[in-house]
Amino acid sequence: MISSQKVCRKCLIEDMDTDEFFNRLNDYIKNYPEEKRADEVTYKNRLDICKSCRYLINGMCEKCGCYVELRALKKNMYCPHVPQKW
């Protein structure tokens, strides 16, 4: 959980500096609840597929607008491409 950290519920990306934003993103990924996250092998496989996908732009999926590391992290999530790539 991120409860021990300072969080801002009103800030947009444009309001944060880049380092702060990416640190928070990485902390979120690291601390995402075990029961909701995909297992490590599935997570890495999903990201490998994203890394070879033409819709990956600057860490984001052009199909859905998600950061793929966040999307792939969630157990029940799926690729938005039709047909799904993962």
Exposed, middle or buried by CB within 10 Å (0-12, 13-18, 19+), for 35?
A: exposed
Q: Does 73 bind ligand SF4 (CB under 6 A)?
A: no
Question: What spatial distance separates the first Cα and last Cα of the chain, rounded to whole Å?
Answer: 27
* Position among 32, 53, 69, 74 found at the interface with ligand SF4 (CB under 6 A): 53
Closest contact distance (angstroms) between CB of 70 and ligand SF4 is 11
Q: Does 67 bind ligand SF4 (CB under 6 A)?
A: no
C-beta separation of 62 from 55 below 8 A: yes
Residue 16 or 49: which CB sits closer to ligand SF4? 49
Residue 16 or 77: which CB sits closer to ligand SF4? 77
| Residue entry with tokens 């979120």 | 28
CB atoms near residue 61 (< 10 Å): 20
Q: Does 38 bind ligand SF4 (CB under 6 A)?
A: no
Q: Does 49 bind ligand SF4 (CB under 6 A)?
A: yes
